[in-house]
Amino acid sequence: MSDFQSRLNCRIDELRRLLIDLYGTDTSLEKLLLIMREYYYKRDEDLKALDQKRLDDPMWYKRSDMLGYTMYSDLFSTSLKDLKSKVDYLQKLSLKYLHLMPLLQMPLKDNDGGYAVEDFFNVDKRFGTNEDLAALTRELRKYGISLCLDFVMNHTASTHEWAKRAEEGDEYYQNYYMCFSDRTIPDEYEKTTPEVFPATAPGNFIWSEKMKKWVLSSFYPYQWDLNYRNPDVLIEMLKASLHLANLGVEVFRLDAVPYIWKQLGTTSRNLPEVHKIVRIMRLVLEIVSPCVILKGEVVMAPKELKAYFGTKEAPECHLLYNVSLMVNFWSALASQNVKLLNYMAEDILNLDEHCYFVNYIRCHDDIGWGLDEDKERSIGIDPLKHKIFLYKFFEGSFKGSYSRGQLYNYDEVSLDARSCGTTASLCGIENALNYDDDKLLEKAIKRDLLMHAALYSFRGFPMLSSGDEIAQLNDYSYLNDPSRALDSRNLHRSKFKWDREKLAESEDGYENAIFDGILKLDEVRKNEKCFDAEAKVTTWYSHSDSVFAIRRSIEDKDMLCVMNFADRKENVSFEYFVGEYKDLFTGKVVTPGLGFTLDAYEYMYLVKNN
């Protein structure tokens, strides 16, 4: 019996049941099985060997040496071929996971940074070819680096072949989308479904003049939502995922996954059918290409995330983005107060052990100030005033701010806004350089490394944003390009500065300070037993509202990670930690149980001093 057949036999009954639950019938199962067999037998032997390796080590993505890195391939290099020649740099960073921003075929304009896909089966010619992508993944595998790609599940570009056929009047492809000849159903839908971009893309439907129909378009008008009530849509998307898996993709970032099932009378978010579809996708991949894992993009409060991991018996996503951690890190830095960060961290860490996260302090998008408003109110914070403070602080318009960033999607009615900028600029390095002030620069470097130290301390694995490791600054040149000037996210979506990388490796400047500091964090993380996947991770009370503390323990080993988010010295004490503890970065010895002092923005990873 083949490995494929053995894995299929264990899962086919559940696959059938899920399809019946969704569609009332399992008539699409045979078509799906034919596609699965086809892609299994097309799969390269080296990928099948990796499948077996991952099956033998199912915790591989939870190992302490996991370090992620996200980039736009065309900003980091000139093409996928050129990127292949730069893998040695990625190896210097000890990466195990590389997330490339969308690179499948997309419209020249109106492509939402690649999240409007014209063809799920082909790389956009601006980046290269499918062969180039396969060659890159082979090169990455030599160094143990897994490639992550976005899988845009909710919608296609309005220029996708399916959409073109629909506009030409083909009813079969009109059923790939949600199309209506009048406003009756759209108007009912609008009563309960929130708008994604009320200021820039109001409404959930657009009018297709060619088709003479209204089309559901939750995001931008050039992105048409797929109709997963049609089993053919699900089959096509599963086929696309298997095709990409055979090119060597090992991680799929499921974009906008909570939106994929629509139901009148609901918000059409997070419906039970979404979880059935994700579970089907996981089962299909486990059968055909079990080295592949799923990472969900789910922007919700921590307590609502658990559903997307599924259960231990029927798991869904292997990983989720830890959006809340990013937002609360920045909030703590600006306010010099970690109360909200502690509440959020406790919510995350209290989730079941199989709930695992990709942690980051900056991503390709903006920082959306989605804090827990009920928690804010409970500790006397006005949520709206706090949000305004945060985006003004990181814009640099708040008095005394060291930060340099820009607003994104400011709404004059709700007063909502998001923030953009590189980590270095948001932490004050750009401001210090503008003033040519060494003391300001020293503090800015400390802030930057503090944020990374807090990131590395948490449960899950850290992911760096390309350029942050060399303290890359905001790039304002996007304002001179009419095609980019209206999107302030381009402030940090800039070309990788290879001249600064050389400085980071060879000089004593701020680039080198950040680069070396991050390498040291990685070295400690991958060599300390307390970072093993089985380690218990909890928050710990520091007796200071400005100091975030994480305890990591496994067997007879204990580690205390402490991070001072204040621009001043803070006194802390930790009663449980008796005796002397040594900081793994500086060798400094302290007695946590008796108390000690942290300098402004100082961090320590403390272990028992033997």
- Catalytic residue numbers read 255, 297
DSSP 310: B
The DSSP result for 178-208, as a single string, is -EESSSHHHHHHHHHPPPSBTTTB-SSEEEE
d(CA 126, CA 100): 14
β 357-359/293-296 pair status: unpaired
**Under a CB-based contact definition with an 8 Å cutoff, are residues 292 and 258 in contact?**
no
* Residue (of 230, 300, 221) closest to 259 by Cα position: 300
Cα angle value 511/358/344 (rounded, 5°): 100
3-class DSSP state of 581: strand
- List, in sequence order, every residue forming a beta bridge with 564; answer none if it has no partner: 547
Calculate the dihedral angle through the C-alpha atoms of 203, 209, 212, 217, rounding to the nearest 10 degrees: -30
Show Cβ contacts of residue 133 under 8 Å, excluding neighbours closer than 6 positions: 80, 103, 123, 247, 248
DSSP 551: E
Burial (CB count within 10 angstroms: exposed 0-12, middle 13-18, buried 19+), residue 339: buried
**Under a CB-based contact definition with an 8 Å cutoff, are residues 71 and 89 in contact?**
no
Please state the separation of Cα 579 from the chain's center in Å. 39
> 127 is written with which tokens?
């980046």
d(CA 364, CA 421): 10
Question: How many Cβ atoms are within 10 Å of 382's Cβ, its own excluded?
Answer: 12
The DSSP result for 316-373, as a single string, is --SEEE-HHHHHHHHHHHHHT--HHHHHHHHHHHTS-TT--EEE-S--SS-EE----H
